[in-house]
Structure 1
Amino acid sequence: MSARKLHVDGRNEQLVLGVGVVTGIGLGLQGLSPTGSTVIDWLLLIASAVFVVWSGATAPWWALAAAAGIAAAIAEPWLPLLVGVGVLGLALAVGTARRSQPVERAIVVGAILLVLSTARDLGAFGVSTAVGVLVAITLAAFGLSRRSRRVRRVGYIAAGAAAGVLVIGTLALVLSGTSARPDLTTGEQAARQGLRELKAADFEQAQSSFERAATSFGRAADDVGAVWTAPARLVPVVSQHHRAVDQLASEAAAASSTVATQLGEIDFDALRIVDGRIDIEAVEGLQQPMAELQESLASLDAAVVSAQDPWLVEPLADRLADLRVDIAEQRDLGDKAVIALDRAPAMLGADGERVYFVMFTTPAEARGQGGFMGNYAEITIDEGEIELTDFGRHSDLNRAATEPFDLSEAPADWLAQYGGEGFARGPGRPVATDVWSIYTISPHFPHTARVADILYPQSGGQDLDGVFNLDVYALEQLVGLVGDVEVDGRDAPLNGTNTAEYLLIEQYETDDNAERIDQLEVIARAVTDRLLGGNAPEPIDLGRAMAPMVRERRLMAWMEDPSEQALLELVSMDGAVLGGRGDRDGVHVAINNDGTGKMDSYLERRMVYEETPDGDELSITIKHTAPVESLPDYVTAVSSDLGRGDGRWLVTVYSTRPVTEAWLDDQPIGVNTGQEAGLQTASIKLVLPPDGSATFRVRFGPNTSFDQTKLIVSPQPLVQPERWAYFGDAPRTLESRSVLDR
């Protein structure tokens, strides 16, 4: 039967064509989109289905059976699978009947095409589609081969015309793409450069980059959208590329132009402190331009998203994906800026006077937060007017209390963890009289700030609306911005590169403790006066200088207002221990000086996290390297129960999982366990002689609740870098706050 020629005439031909139309409509309803244009897609699907069904109406039964078997084998849902099996049976029935049966064959072909349209993914994207197209072409070819010469000629002419459109369309895409590619590349590079500059708060350069991007994308859009490229819209896959490039170039040009315009309207210099005042109206005036900038970036992102298509070749798809990543990062930063501008007026006293407590801390004497508080400042802001209303030392606050300190309202888990270190009031356990010297004991800054909020009124201060912490490295950055500070007895002034070294090491080389105290106050007060006076830095410069300090937990803040505290958490300025870890495993080590000496600038720490057959372990090696013999007595002075130069530290491990075992220099020991800030804690007190070292090792319980692919570590901001090493699937060495890949 396969050798003879078959005819489809009269009513049978009409029915076959009808089956083809119905099949094409069915393919369209399946959501197939070979070109990305709705009208062209429907016309193309119906025309293709009619041609294949009409041609396949004379295909041999065994070809129909083979095609039906392939369709059933790769069908995804169970219903198309059953249909495919049924079609296979129908194809076999056609073969056993040994008659032409063009309508029945057409129905089989149409059903095969519909089942193929539901095919599951076969590995790489597009493989299942290629299989379906190949099956359809094969059926059409077998069917045409069994028609008369005249009919075959018509079929071949139709196929040739389609091939011609394919060639012309592909050539049009190649030529237009070749012409537009340099401008597309330049536009994409300029846009990404603008995003990097925007991230670095270089708004002027970012505006220039986006203007270049708009110009380049515009030229590319003109090339791709030219009239002579119209045939490319008719060719499957080719049209996807053409549409993606055309849409990307056009919409990216418009969005880039809008971004450039918005950047020209944003002036962050309006946030600068001038004569002790920030213009609240100017701050509010930035809210709308920033919101519009975010909308423009969203439009640029939408242009990239709409241009993305799984049919795109990998280089273009990769470029679009990379651009989206950059846009997403900037939109995230922009969203935070919009929220900050919304909260800023109230924080600047627009709704009433605000009082803020600023602590100046130094890690020369280690505390869990980083260092002990040497000086403090009280800042009052009302309607943008900023005033320094008090300034002093921690000892002033200790002496100012007229009654014993009361910390009964302190966070319960903070009291449970550290109450025994001088904070628990009760029979035989009063709050220490030098509480302001030791209250920065916790690495969880929200607790430290809350304790300051409780203590300050007891020392004669005002009720607080917020608390800020700056350590000596953050202070050094401010010195670099406001100008050199002269210090009595020192030939060269302090600047943005030597202030921290002076405050941590050089100042302790003098034997005159009173003189040292006066000089420390001079530095902190000079910086504060200049910030609030006529020498305030530009806001952008201030942000660039302080951003690393926030990441290193050397600049932290707390606000009493929940919405303002949420903003600090959003920008990771809240100082929460292991903050932002989500569902990931994490560990932090807090070291507190428990011997009253000021030798912690020389303290070395090395942390090794290791996966062992018995469980994850953390080894903490601490080395006391202070040059005791060359330091003044008041620097090396320690508790009466310690020898000269000896050091004693409270070492606390904060972790998401509890510690189950512990060792000190490989000898099993007991530890004090507890909880704070939702984390497990394990503590010991460690005594070391000069140049001595010890290793505290702990083993954690099994990980049953946390992401096992990541480990969050948050180094304590002391002087010597906290060095981390990880031994597991992939070793890592770190010196800053990091996420360790397991």
Structure 2
Amino acid sequence: MTLWVVAGALIATICALAWVAVRGAIAADLLRSARGQALEVVANVDDPAAVSELITGLAADTGTAHALTSDVTWQAVEQLPWIGPQLHAISTIAASADAVAVDALTPLAEVASTLPADAFRPIDGRISLDGFVAVQNAAARAADSIGGAAEAIEFANSPALIGPLADVVDQVSDLFTETAHATDALARASVLIPAMLGQDEPRDYLVIFQNNAEWRSLGGIAGALAVVHTDDGGLILTEQDYAANIGSFVPPVLDLDPELTAVYGVRPATWMHNVTQVPDFEVSGQLAQAMWADRHATQVDGVIALDPVALSYILEATGPVELPTGDTLTAGNAVELLLNEVYVRYPDPEQQNQFFSDTTSAIFQALTQRGFNAGTLLAGLARAGDEYRVMLWSAHDEDQAVLADTTLAGAPLETTRRTTPFGVYLNDGTGSKMDYYQSVETTALWEACTLDAAGAASGTAVLEVTIANEAPASGLAEYITGGGAYGVEPGSASTVGYLYLPEGFELADATLTTGDGFGGGFIDGRQVLSFEILLAPGESATARVAVRTTEPSGAQLAVRQTPTVNRDVTPETGSCLLGPLDSNQGAP
């Protein structure tokens, strides 16, 4: 009798496993189909009718996949050792995808289907605010739903998962995290943009064009400046100027926090060129606002900063822009033309300024009058935001609260349950445009680490930053090299760097291959190391910093770094997901 009981139980288990295997295979096919439809949704974001139809199909697939992976048999097999965590991960993905389709994408699609195709495009210099207001509730709901789904999948990523499935869960987790960021950005934008475009009252915004050929912590020196006036969706370019014309402020235009002054001195509050030297755009925005008000008697409502690389992403949406000089500005040539060629062609700063002024006017005209591809523009701005090439500060507290914790706020990264961030901020010390020719390679890897039961890491992490001067040995224009005006040999490049160590870590070691030492201080409880290097053409130098935990920290290392002209170069980071890692192991 006992034998028959055992045999019966075995047969039932085999049948249950077979049932689960078949349903799992079907669910996998449905989820692959849903993924394809999701990609089509992104590709057709500017076609509300197409998006609505695609989301309907996507919701049907995810709903079926969820049903296939949530019945009683599936749930019972989830309790078994080894195979249980694998099935739980699959069912979590299916349930999360279905929740996103039903609770997030479907409401957005319903709203989108009621909007005209040009709902977010400017017509005769004005953007209708109705579309932004219409999507506010659906966007907020979507952000909550996708955020919850992303968190559920992250928790389903157990060390018990087999390698291939763990890789899939990692990929899905990253995808949902990125989507959560995107929908969160949409929810915030639907609230912020109407206010910024003068829904309730006219507004003025100072736009700073950063020049990455002369580094500052947040990108580059403030160069060309412009003020955009908004009123009920209308946009007008009202005024232009240049940082060099603003002059210096003695005493400083604002009093900086003593911790900032101890590290950066008073230069950020003395020259418009230097407002982005402090790697916190809330500080930069307030400094720029005060300087502009002093010189132009206009109290702007906020400050926006972007660089030519971000501009190149915008040009992918507008298409080529004709300039008064006869040049055609495109996504492909914007960086080279605006950060290098202009200084070869026009050695006179006044001519350079006129070229930048004409370029600003032409791009503004293209954006507000000619129109653009909405999907491409959104993708470009999202990429620029992810690369910290677009930043915004608002003088209105309610708007600034919406910006908090986003890349647009331009603040140093903070340690979270999942991530441990370093900051790498670079500044030109040459008084030149030599950083167009400099490259940066950065790695942040665990030298040794362990995970606790909660998935937090303890150990030693190493940050390495290598800067190389790749300029030709001769033949550069004097305006590019600086002509030795600040005591630097023409062709050489001087760089001042600031390395922000993660919270919850202590310094173990710090070296420069030049043999020089470090300075620095503490800002908001984080240790900051400063260094200076001077490189002739063909030379390079590396800063290496080792830190060890004083308390368990996020397993994934991250780096917030000064964005340069090299748009495709990103820091290499490592993760302590499966125990100790050596220095040859990077991010999964």
TMscore range, shorter length? 0.7 to 0.9
Superposition deviation, residue 511 in structure 1: 5.1
Aligned AA for 1:362? N
Q: Which of the numbers 559, 582, 585 marks the counterpart of 1:713?
A: 559
Where does residue 262 of structure 2 map in the other structure? 416
Contact 1:187/1:213 (CA < 8 Å) preserved in 2?
Answer: no
Where does residue 364 of structure 2 map in the other structure? 528
Contact 1:557/1:573 (CA < 8 Å) preserved in 2?
Answer: yes
Change (3 A) 1:382 1:206: closer
Partner Cα separation in structure 2 for residue 717 and residue 315 of structure 1: 34
Where does residue 498 of structure 1 map in the other structure? 333
Q: Deviations over 1:366-421 (max 9, x none)?
A: 112211122111112222222222112112333xx8x7453333344333322254
Contact 1:638/1:646 (CA < 8 Å) preserved in 2?
Answer: no
Partner SS, residue 484 of structure 2: coil
Where does residue 3 of structure 1 map in the other structure? none
Task: Report whether the alignment pairs 1:675 with 2:522.
Answer: yes
For CA contacts below 8 A with separation 6 or more, give which structure has more relative contact order.
2
Task: Report whether the alignment pairs 1:624 with 2:458.
Answer: no
Partner Cα separation in structure 1 for residue 539 and residue 78 of structure 2: 73
Q: Which of the numbers 581, 585, 588 marks the counterpart of 1:729?
A: 581
Q: Which of the numbers 531, 544, 548 marks the counterpart of 1:684?
A: 531
Q: How does 1:92-111 map to 2 (within 5 A)?
A: none
Length-normalised TM-score, structure 1: 0.61
Contact 1:184/1:220 (CA < 8 Å) preserved in 2?
Answer: yes
Partner Cα separation in structure 1 for residue 225 and residue 291 of structure 2: 13
Q: Which of the numbers 291, 294, 298 marks the counterpart of 1:458?
A: 294
Task: Report whether the alignment pairs 1:665 with 2:499.
Answer: no
Q: Which of the numbers 34, 49, 52 marks the counterpart of 1:207?
A: 52
Task: Report whether the alignment pairs 1:539 with 2:386.
Answer: no
Partner Cα separation in structure 2 for residue 439 and residue 249 of structure 1: 48
Contact 1:194/1:205 (CA < 8 Å) preserved in 2?
Answer: no
Partner SS, residue 282 of structure 1: helix
Contact 1:370/1:718 (CA < 8 Å) preserved in 2?
Answer: yes
Q: Deviations over 1:214-265 (max 9, x none)?
A: 55678899999xxxxxxx9899959999xx999x999999996785575143
Structure 1 unaligned blocks of 5 or more: 1-136, 142-155, 225-231, 305-313, 424-430, 734-739
Contact 1:210/1:257 (CA < 8 Å) preserved in 2?
Answer: no
Q: How does 1:514-663 map to 2 (within 5 A)?
A: 514-532=350-368, 534-579=369-414, 584-607=419-442, 617-627=462-472, 629-636=474-481, 637-656=483-502, 657=505, 659=507, 662-663=510-511
Q: Deviations over 1:702-728 (max 9, x none)?
A: 321352633221232112476756798
Where does residue 130 of structure 2 map in the other structure? 281
Q: Which of the numbers 290, 306, 318 marks the counterpart of 1:482?
A: 318
Partner Cα separation in structure 1 for residue 374 and residue 430 of structure 2: 41
Change (3 A) 1:290 1:597: closer
Partner Cα separation in structure 2 for residue 672 and residue 218 of structure 1: 58
Identity of aligned residues (%): 23
Where does residue 32 of structure 2 map in the other structure? 189
RMSD: 5.0
Where does residue 451 of structure 2 map in the other structure? none
Partner Cα separation in structure 1 for residue 234 and residue 412 of structure 2: 33
Partner Cα separation in structure 1 for residue 170 and residue 263 of structure 2: 47
Superposition deviation, residue 579 in structure 1: 4.8
Partner SS, residue 474 of structure 2: helix
Superposition deviation, residue 297 in structure 1: 7.4
Partner Cα separation in structure 2 for residue 581 and residue 395 of structure 1: 40
Partner Cα separation in structure 2 for residue 215 and residue 627 of structure 1: 59
Task: Report whether the alignment pairs 1:393 with 2:236.
Answer: no
Where does residue 283 of structure 2 map in the other structure? 447
Where does residue 305 of structure 2 map in the other structure? 469
Partner SS, residue 630 of structure 1: coil
Partner SS, residue 477 of structure 1: helix
Partner Cα separation in structure 1 for residue 218 and residue 164 of structure 2: 48
Higher helix share: 1
Partner Cα separation in structure 1 for residue 74 and residue 61 of structure 2: 27
Aligned AA for 2:330? N
Task: Report whether the alignment pairs 1:355 with 2:207.
Answer: no
Length-normalised TM-score, structure 2: 0.75
Where does residue 341 of structure 1 map in the other structure? 190
Contact 2:246/2:291 (CA < 8 Å) preserved in 1?
Answer: no
Task: Report whether the alignment pairs 1:437 with 2:273.
Answer: yes
Q: Number of aligned residue pairs: give it.
A: 547
Structure 2 unaligned blocks of 5 or more: 81-87, 154-162, 449-458, 575-579
Q: Which of the numbers 540, 545, 549 marks the counterpart of 1:693?
A: 540
Partner Cα separation in structure 2 for residue 236 and residue 373 of structure 1: 59
Partner SS, residue 627 of structure 1: coil
Task: Report whether the alignment pairs 1:382 with 2:231.
Answer: yes
Q: How does 1:248-287 map to 2 (within 5 A)?
A: 260=106, 263-266=109-112, 267=115, 269-287=118-136
Partner SS, residue 379 of structure 2: helix
Partner SS, residue 675 of structure 1: strand
Superposition deviation, residue 677 in structure 1: 5.1
Q: How does 1:204-353 map to 2 (within 5 A)?
A: 206-213=51-58, 237=76, 260=106, 263-266=109-112, 267=115, 269-290=118-139, 330=179, 333-353=182-202
Contact 2:228/2:237 (CA < 8 Å) preserved in 1?
Answer: yes
Change (3 A) 1:537 1:342: same
Contact 1:207/1:261 (CA < 8 Å) preserved in 2?
Answer: no
Q: How does 1:364-375 map to 2 (within 5 A)?
A: 364-375=213-224
Aligned AA for 2:499? V
Partner Cα separation in structure 2 for residue 686 and residue 318 of structure 1: 41
Superposition deviation, residue 587 in structure 1: 2.2
Partner Cα separation in structure 1 for residue 11 and residue 441 of structure 2: 66
Partner Cα separation in structure 2 for residue 655 and residue 285 of structure 1: 43
Contact 2:446/2:582 (CA < 8 Å) preserved in 1?
Answer: no
Q: Deviations over 1:587-622 (max 9, x none)?
A: 222221122121111112334557779975544433
Change (3 A) 1:496 1:612: closer
Task: Report which of the two structures shows the higher radius of gyration computed on alpha carbons.
Answer: 1
Partner Cα separation in structure 2 for residue 471 and residue 299 of structure 1: 34
Superposition deviation, residue 360 in structure 1: 0.6
Aligned AA for 1:436? M
Partner SS, residue 411 of structure 2: coil
Superposition deviation, residue 271 in structure 1: 2.4
Q: Deviations over 1:608-667 (max 9, x none)?
A: 557779975544433323225211222222335333333322222222246565444363
Contact 2:27/2:68 (CA < 8 Å) preserved in 1?
Answer: no
Contact 1:617/1:700 (CA < 8 Å) preserved in 2?
Answer: yes
Partner Cα separation in structure 2 for residue 373 and residue 453 of structure 1: 13
Where does residue 84 of structure 2 map in the other structure? none
Partner Cα separation in structure 1 for residue 311 and residue 75 of structure 2: 63
